[in-house]
Amino acid sequence: MMPATLHVLLRRRALAPSSRMLAVALTTVAALLPSQLHAQGTISGLGFGNPINGMSTRSSGTAGAFVEFDALTPINPSAIGGLSRTVLSAQVEPEHRTLSLGALREKTSSQRIPVLMVAFPARRGVAVAFSARGFLDRSYTTTTTGSAVIDGRTLPTSEVLTMRGAIGDIRGAVGWQINPKFRVGLGGHIFTGDNTAARERTFADTLRFGSTLDSSKVTYIGTAISIGGEAQLFKGVSATLSYRVGNGLDARIRDTTRASGSVPARLGGALRYDGIPGSVFTVGFEQVKWSDMQGMSSSRTIAHDAQNVYAGAEVAGPRLRGYPVMVRAGYARNQLPFSISAEQVKETRFGGGVGIPIGRDAASIDFSIQRANRVLNGSLAKESAWLFGAGIQIRP
């Protein structure tokens, strides 16, 4: 990387690959120095990258408040227990960010498919689901200009560093509704991905000097197990808990393990009230032990454990061909995992959305919008983002 005093130009557009959702990637490049935040164009993508919630558009419309109860968000495996019909689900969620560093502003965007899922009933209250969701994403391109001394001559140069990396969570789960008041579930996870870094240097005198290109690739593999349970406490009120225990997560170059950590452990819980017909209200929490990944980080990357809280609601709105349009809203306060200092990036998020039935009850489409504001304490860095979600659920 060129010295921080050099002028830094950025042209970045991140893209989480949709066709490779089962093998999405993660980067291990060290977190950037504060003076380089503008070069990266984001504070949510520091360290190993931006955590992708990987949830359905229904949950996005409540800013994540429904993740514990949502059968189409692959977090709590007990949520699929008692499923009565096969469901195919897919979501898209582009994010448009603006990073502010004092008077400097930089805009970036990401195009993502946060989750793909199929779930189907077996028998006697048992259901099975397979899903692929985003977990972490860090893809960007930076361009720096400077000079190099060759044979005593100082030559202007331009250097382009391209990172393409993310990590994905592939889950197979079984849920069982033991009786109308109690459900349990078990999930097995594979966390996999790769990171490709390419550095190209070009010279102003292209007639005498050709460009140089270096690239490297790191692959990642890890596993985890999740369990969950849901119980009806009394009429209209239910509680749920889920826990993910992470196993090893290795970074490999070719067949050699270069660094090791663990898939972050996660604990989540929520209370739900659905005593009013056509309405659901939820409050919940989440704790993620991101420090389990510290062993894979450089000395410049600090992994912070995160504690997140949220609240949301879904109510029945006007009817369309006899079926209600669902209206959603939610609020969340989150902590992001990676930083360049002892200070942690904090996020507030507001969400809203609608669910529209189509083809009677054979399918539905959902739309969501979220506004996120992120702050890195101890710096001038602030980030705001709009996330637009669209999802479809088909029940053949």
pLDDT digit string, tens, across residues 55-78: 999 999 999 999 999 999 999 999
Kindly list the domain boundaries of the chain, sorted by start residue.
8-394
The rounded distance, in Å, linking the Cα atoms of 191 and 263 is: 8
Could you tell me which residue, 43 or 125, shows the higher pLDDT? 125
- Give the model's confidence band at 245: pLDDT under 50 very low, under 70 low, under 90 confident, else very high: very high
CATH architecture of 8-394: Beta Barrel (2.40)
pLDDT digits 0-9 by tens, 29-48: 333 334 445 445 577 777 77
Which range is least confidently modeled, 144-153, 183-192, 230-239, 260-269?
Answer: 144-153
The pLDDT score that the predictor gives to residue 199 is 81
The pLDDT score that the predictor gives to residue 26 is 27
pLDDT greater than 90 at residue 161: no
Which range is least confidently modeled, 150-159, 180-189, 304-313, 336-345?
Answer: 150-159
pLDDT greater than 90 at residue 119: yes
Which range is least confidently modeled, 70-74, 255-259, 268-272?
Answer: 255-259
The pLDDT score that the predictor gives to residue 347 is 95
Contact 336, 346 (CB under 8 A): yes
Ordered DSSP codes for 167-214: EEEEEEEEEEEEETTEEEEEEEEEEEEEEEEEEEEEES-TTT---EEE
The pLDDT score that the predictor gives to residue 322 is 83
Mean pLDDT of 333-347: 88
User: What's the whole-model pTM score?
Assistant: 0.81
pLDDT greater than 50 at residue 340: yes
- DSSP state, 294? G
pLDDT greater than 70 at residue 3: no
The pLDDT score that the predictor gives to residue 74 is 95
The pLDDT score that the predictor gives to residue 8 is 24
The pLDDT score that the predictor gives to residue 16 is 33
The pLDDT score that the predictor gives to residue 173 is 98
Contact 291, 303 (CB under 8 A): yes
* Helices (runs of H) and strands (runs of E) counted in the chain: 2, 23
Average pLDDT, the chain: 84
The pLDDT score that the predictor gives to residue 62 is 97
The pLDDT score that the predictor gives to residue 12 is 30
Q: Report which of 336, 340, 391 is spatially closest to residue 52, judged by C-alpha positions.
A: 336
State the CB neighbour count (10 A cutoff) for residue 66. 30
pLDDT digits 0-9 by tens, 306-325: 999 999 999 999 988 888 99
pLDDT digits 0-9 by tens, 129-143: 999 999 988 776 667
Both tokens of 43, joined, read 């504070």
The pLDDT score that the predictor gives to residue 40 is 53
Mean pLDDT of 282-311: 90
pLDDT digits 0-9 by tens, 170-209: 999 999 999 999 999 999 999 998 878 788 888 777 767 7
